[in-house]
Amino acid sequence: MQNHEKAIGVPEHPASSTLRALFGLANETEREVARALELNLTDYRAFTVLSESGPLTVGALAEKLRATAATTTAIVGRLEMHGCVERARSTEDRRQVHVNVTEAASARVKELLQPLAAAAAAQLDALEPDHQLVVADFLGSVVNLMQDHLNSLSAEGAR
């Protein structure tokens, strides 16, 4: 804990080490899910974007990944080869091709993550309703802080 305080120059709150552990375990879990799908981490992150957003064109996916169209095309090709995504012509504009996750890959990820999600939900359910709200408010604030920080880092990188 003291090394982290020294590294970032801010006194650490007792909950900070727990958050840091949570972030680290989230990263490790992401790596293990990617490994289970036989994907590299970059490809798994693209899969996650598609899972959360729904069908996207390669160009729209590239924008969300902050990658070039060529890089994203290669990622989509690898995901397709592993059976994680499929391409389909848009029903509105036949010139466009959308990429979407396959039901099989989506089910596999759900199978891998469902035990953790269920256990976390049970932990929350065990709390009094007012404590559940405190936890939700705190985590929501942390998400907003992280998003703001990510945006500022991204803006700095664009300079």
The kind and range of the H/E element at 100 are: strand 97-101
Per-residue pLDDT, 152: 93
Residue 159 has pLDDT above 60, yes or no: no
Per-residue confidence band for 2, with pLDDT thresholds at 50, 70 and 90: low
Model's pTM, two decimal places? 0.83
Per-residue pLDDT, 158: 58
Cα–Cα distance, 134 to 84 (Å, whole number)? 37
Cα–Cα distance, 110 to 85 (Å, whole number)? 15
**3-state DSSP assignment of residue 89:** strand
Summarize pLDDT for 54-112 with one digit per residue, the tens.
999 999 999 999 999 999 999 999 999 999 999 999 888 888 899 999 999 999 999 99
Summarize pLDDT for 25-42 with one digit per residue, the tens.
999 999 999 999 999 999
Per-residue pLDDT, 138: 95
Q: What is the mean pLDDT of the chain?
A: 92
Q: Which of 4-13, 65-74, 114-123, 148-157 has the lowest mean pLDDT?
A: 4-13
Please report the domains of the chain, with CATH numbers, ordered by start residue. 28-102 (1.10.10.10)
Residue 11 has pLDDT above 80, yes or no: no
Per-residue pLDDT, 107: 98
The DSSP-derived string for 14-59 is HHHHHHHHHHHHHHHHHHHHHHHTT--HHHHHHHHHHHHH-SEEHH
Residue 130 has pLDDT above 60, yes or no: yes
For the chain, the farthest-separated pair of C-alpha atoms sits apart, in whole angstroms, at: 58
Alpha helices in the chain (DSSP H): 2-8, 14-36, 41-53, 58-65, 69-81, 103-125, 129-158
